[in-house]
Structure 1
Amino acid sequence: MNESQMDKELRQFAKNAIVDVPARFSAGIDHVLDSLPPQPMRKNRSTRKNYWLMPVACLFLGVFLLIGTGFVSPTMAHMLRNLPFVGSIIGFIGDSGIREANQQGLATRLEQMATDQGITVALKEAYYDRLNLSVGFTVTFPPNETRYPHIEKVSYSLGGQTITRTFTEEQAKNSYLLHWRHAEGNTYYGTFQPFFTEPLPEELPLKLKLEKMGGVEGEWQFDIPLSRKPADEFTKVTEPKVSGQSGDYTISVKQVIRAPSATRIVFGVQAEKDSLSLTEDDKVNQIMMLSNDIRVFDSKGVPLSSITDEKGNRGGGIIGVTQFSKDFHPISPESRSITIVVDRQLRFEIPLD
């Protein structure tokens, strides 16, 4: 086959191929192209000098056809699906703050497995510090499962109290408590990360039980001994004891907890006399709005993104009508201070140890 005939067939093949390119990928390219400066006019050149374009075009075409049309061997498909994995489930699909902590080698390896109703759950790792806990696991369903199976019911016991959580399919995909991703075949990766308003104890015997998934009720139960000692070496607590006025409230910064996975700032709130007649709901609503107006910056002026807001806002991190807290992404160890701005008027400059 001569080169002209090969070019013709490649163009025809590309024209007929159906490649489903994600919208965000296309939009990203359009954004980059639109931001580029206009190219200067160039004189026509001999096509002989552009022969290198054809191999490059064929390479890109091959990649898109490989991924888009699914014509790929099982071995290659397995490799493509697992390229992002680095041996850690919580490091791949966990909360972004916990992913940072995981990079410091602070996760604990787990080797626990339970099988019921033909479904196998294998615990792989856990992360635990003063503010967060996350458990990474795999779930393998029976072969030939045609639905989108997901975890529907989980319970866990802490300090004698049992808490049960249920998830719809949409919640399983988007809930901050549960990260759930298809891995390959009939295997899924998951992380479970409950939220706690109070600092967690140094040692925690966690009882975790999965009770329903893929429409199947069963019992996959685990006893997980957790210790925050490894993370405590990187955790610092500052008590600034500063306060100021914002509207009808006196705001104080009671505590700054810097754990490897998050930064929690605990605020105290004292209402003026005119606000004491408000109902409890009105007080909570006002404090919630106040919480939403708080911004935090590191010593370089870089804003810290709020984990509290990412996780459905959780009532602004409200704990009570006299105190509330907000969780932010970890502060860089290089930062020597933080700046807290409340309602664009009240500003705290807090040095960090």
Structure 2
Amino acid sequence: MSISDEIKQSLTEQFDKTQVPEDVDRRVRQSFVQFHEKKENKKMKKNIIAFSIAAAVLIPTGAYSLSSSYFAKDQADINGLVGSGVQHAVSEGLSVPIDRKITDQGITIHFKEVYVEDTKVLVHYRIEKPDGALVPWEFDTTGLQIISDGKKDGKQVENPTYQEPGVEGFSQLSFIGTGRKDHLPFRLTDAVGKEIETGIADKDQPEGVIAFVTSGASLPQTIKLNVDIDRIGKAKGSWKGDIAIDQSKAKQATDAAR
């Protein structure tokens, strides 16, 4: 037998004969259990942290779909047409982002988002300067018999009103002007260009919503937003065009908004 084998055998016999006191054995076992408990706790903490990070990533995603839509904002509402039903629908991603622009005189009408139900169309627009900032909400009242300039503490808060010669009552000066006889700068048309009968509402400001609502009839399969503008604030020009309205989410939006 080699020397190394003799040493191993001697040590084995010595360990076999050695008796560990009960209190020492208990402490060793307790330390072993505590070690593994700490190890498991660390694993659990890591799992909790990982889950928290995942939640932090996932939760804002849902919030983003709501907050990123202009129609989710309180200022988007117009005559109660952008209410909680619409906000619920857009929180589910049922509006359609667009990026259509009509530019003249350095001023761009930027159409950014559309929301469609079976009987309603909402369009979010911005009127922008070349740098993308909103144009000022201001009016050219030269030559008009002004009743009210619409300002409070020097800030524009509403459209000016004026008196027309030979006309009873007063008229309101629009921010977005058109040469059309019906004075409507925006309207919906069908596939052949025929105007669709709807009620129309807008805030007539540099940013807002144009709302179209039928009397209950479903909208045709093909609709376009017709734009015919010859004045924006103090600037005169020509902003004309047709924008196709995406109705791919209309059925889902109608159901979600109920």
Q: Same fold (TM over 0.5)?
A: no
State the TM-score, normalizing by the size of structure 1.
0.34
The structure that is strand-richer by fraction is: 1
Structure of higher RCO (CA pairs closer than 8 Å, 6+ residues apart): 2
User: Rg: which structure is higher?
Assistant: 2
State the TM-score, normalizing by the size of structure 2.
0.44
